[in-house]
Amino acid sequence: MAKIGVLGAGTWGMALARMLSNSGHDVTVWSALPAEVDQLATTRRQKNLPGMVIPDAIKFTKEVAQACEDKDIILFAVPSVFVRSTAKTAAPFIPDGQIIVDVAKGIEPDTLLTLTGVIQDVLTKDGKHDNVKYVALSGPTHAEEVAKDLPTTIVSACEDKETAEKVQDVFMNDNMRVYTNADRLGVELCGALKNVIALASGICSGLGYGDNMRAALIIRGMAEIKRLGLKMGGKESSFDGLAGMGDLIVTATSKESRNYNAGFLIGQGKSAEEAKKEVGMVVEGINAIPAALELSKKYEVEMPIVFAVDSVVNGHAEPRKVIYQLMHREKKSEMVI
């Protein structure tokens, strides 16, 4: 039995908290929103997962210390934009040597750090957290399915094998199969960038384009992610694996995917703001666009789909015209595949 503190009580944080509690672990959940703590503790329901009953054994707290002190694992499950502030709030209560697992997917636009990198950046500043272990836990994992105990796989990524395996052991159960990977950066890049490609897939479906276009976006989208990821030091097998191709497939095809759904609404003529509002949960693909553009320029990697998504989402370009331009890009020798 492990003692686990969960920071963030959104859809994914609560689906994982329930799963871990049902596996026999001791789970304490903290949220930055006091009203959310009260609501969860009294109703035992998460608003975006109405069919899921929250086990009585899960404790809720408004004190971040109670979710950080004396824990085997601290799980960061807040949307990417809150990872830095949450790390700052939690830092005084995180002991050195702690295992921290992050499940949020994104890249910080100002620093271009992946999210375990952001937590590391905060914690190493005080000189008291030099031995913290950082794990990225990522894969094709819709909360809605995990909440129903449907079979799911995920990757525990950490350069320290022993830590990756410890997290594997804690999260593994009858319905969750956990693989390990030493390439934390590659796994995190996959998780952040596939959301941008999922927006493209949704935009195309919203426009009325079919499965041919979606398959093309998945494969050529992964080609872009891989080109960048390999230049940044990621391992090829990460991009081909569960956290890469696996997560891209599910995010770019599933009706459960908020990125796909947001793209669909944009393809149907809604603005990005309207789409985000209608989806009602974090749309990390939109958050990831600025960093993806910056990384593409910094590493001199061509990412035409990412740029096309940006011009539709932020440039308000007409989606059909942008797809036309993508299809009519200059013919190149590298079109041989």
Ligand X SMILES: NC(=O)c1ccc[n+]([C@@H]2O[C@H](COP(=O)([O-])OP(=O)(O)OC[C@H]3O[C@@H](n4cnc5c(N)ncnc54)[C@H](O)[C@@H]3O)[C@@H](O)[C@H]2O)c1
Distance from C-alpha of 140 to C-alpha of 122, rounded to nearest angstrom:
28
Instruction: For the sheet with 59-61, list strands across it.
Output: 59-61, 26-30, 3-7, 73-76, 99-102, 133-138, 152-157, 176-181
Residue 233, burial from CB neighbour count under 10 angstroms (0-12, 13-18, 19+): exposed
Beta carbon nearer to ligand X, 74 or 213: 74
User: Least distance to ligand X from the beta carbon of 102, Å?
Assistant: 9
The answer to whether 269 is annotated as binding is: no
| 51 annotated as ligand-binding | no
Query: Has 182 been labeled as part of a binding site?
Result: no
Q: Give min distance, CB of 334 to ligand X, in A.
A: 31
Listed in sequence order, the residues at least 6 apart from 25 whose beta carbon sits closer than 8 Å to its beta carbon are 1, 2, 3, 4, 170
Q: What residue has token string 């004190």? A: 63
Cα 149 to Cα 15, 173, 176: the distances in Å are 10, 10, 8
Count other Cβ atoms within 10 Å, centred on residue 67. Answer: 25
The site for ligand X (CB under 6 A) is made up of 8-13, 31-33, 36, 48, 77-80, 82, 85-86, 103-106, 141-143, 281-282, 284
Residue 8 annotated as binding site: yes
The annotation status of 202 as a binding-site residue, yes or no, is: no
* Closest to ligand X by CB, 11 or 296: 11
Number of H helices, E strands in the chain: 16, 8
Classify 265 as helix, strand or coil.
Answer: helix
Nearer to ligand X, 87 or 207 (CB): 87
First to last CA, the chain: 49
User: In the complex with ligand X, which residue's Cβ is closer, 36 or 310?
Assistant: 36
Shortest approach of ligand X to residue 189 CB, angstroms? 14
Based on CB atoms, which residue is closest to ligand X, 215 or 281?
281
Tell whether 47 is in a known binding site. Answer: no
- Residue 60 annotated as binding site: no
The answer to whether 194 is a known catalytic residue is yes
Q: Which residues pair with 4 in a beta bridge?
A: 27, 73
Least Å distance, CB 114 to ligand X, is 11
> How far apart, in whole angstroms, are the C-alpha atoms of residue 138 and residue 8?
16
Query: With contact defined as beta carbons under 8 Å apart, do 312 and 322 qualify?
Result: yes
> Would you say 29 and 40 are in contact if contact means Cβ atoms under 8 Å apart?
yes
Instruction: Tell whether residue 258 is among the known ligand binding residues.
Output: yes
CB of 85 to ligand X, least distance (A): 6
**Cα distance between residue 18 and residue 264, in whole Å:** 30
Given the residues 194, 226, 270, 332, select the one marked as catalytic.
194
- Minimum gap (Å) between residue 202 Cβ and ligand X: 15
Closest to ligand X by CB, 7 or 303 = 7
Residue nearest ligand X (C-beta atom)? 10
Binding site residue list for NADPH: 11-12, 105, 143, 258, 282, 284
Binding site residue list for NAD(+): 8-13, 82, 143, 258
Known catalytic residues? 194
Binding site residue list: 8-13, 82, 105, 139, 141, 143, 194, 247, 257-259, 282, 284
Binding site residue list for sn-glycerol 3-phosphate: 105, 139, 141, 194, 247, 257-259
